Amino acid sequence: MKTILCFGDSNTWGFDPDATAAAPYPVRHAPHARWTGVAAAELGREYRIIEEGQNGRTTVHNDPFAVARNGREYLPACLESHKPIDLVVMMLGTNDLKNVFNVPPGEIATGATILARMILQSDAGLDGGAPKLLLISPVAIGDLSHLPDLDAKFTNARANSLELPRHYALAAKALGCEYLNAQEHAEPSPVDGIHLDAVAHGSLGKAIAAKIKSMVY
């Protein structure tokens, strides 16, 4: 059985924008509807998908308004607890677009690169080696104008998010790892402009599964 670790933020956790809009707390899509669940169904029983998504997770930044969101601080323990891992799928960077971090797209990709090197230089793979890595540039930010409080936290986020694929592709080439542009497969829900609805999860999950099959078989 192949072990696939999916390391990401709320769009890996499965944040449901429609259900959350009607609730006083974050609500998840059902397991089978998340992109991780869709990918698991596509891949079949020979693959084990591990969900490691967290709302608000960043690449390398400490959020002053939320505890334990720094991906760099959690990643080593995550790799250690799940090894041996055949492949890590990493999709992070959306939360780095927040004004509080004040970093341009290129530096967001640098944060992702730091995590990527931690994975590729680890002993969390088979026989004490490193796992393979699929680096994914995240889905674009949508229209936030109808949500002024959120829009104030993500100034110019759509334009900056559209720049991420170029930087992530260059990072993946330099790292020698595989790459996928999530923006080619999914759009954020118009409800909140950040999170994926079930249809988008389905499209993204199938694309990621196809990429995983080409890397681990």
CATH of the domain at 133: 3.40.50.1110
The predicted structure's pLDDT at residue 67: 96
Contact 41, 206 (CB under 8 A): no
Question: pLDDT exceeding 70 applies to what percent of the chain?
Answer: 100
Q: How far is CA 175 from CA 13, 164, 202, 208, 214, in A?
A: 26, 16, 28, 19, 18
Range of the domain at 203: 2-215
| pLDDT band for position 148 (cuts 50, 70, 90) | very high
Backbone angles phi, psi at 38, to 5 degrees: -65, -45
Looking at the 3D structure of the chain, how many domains does it have?
A: 1
Q: What tokens does 37 get?
A: 């669940």
pTM: predicted TM-score of the whole model, two decimal places: 0.97
Instruction: Give CA–CA dist 92/123, Å, rounded.
Output: 22
> What are the tens digits of pLDDT across the range 78-130?
999 999 999 999 999 999 999 999 999 999 999 999 999 999 999 999 999 99
The predicted structure's pLDDT at residue 204: 98
| pLDDT band for position 36 (cuts 50, 70, 90) | very high
Q: Is 192 helix (H, G, I), strand (E, B) or coil?
A: coil
The predicted structure's pLDDT at residue 76: 98
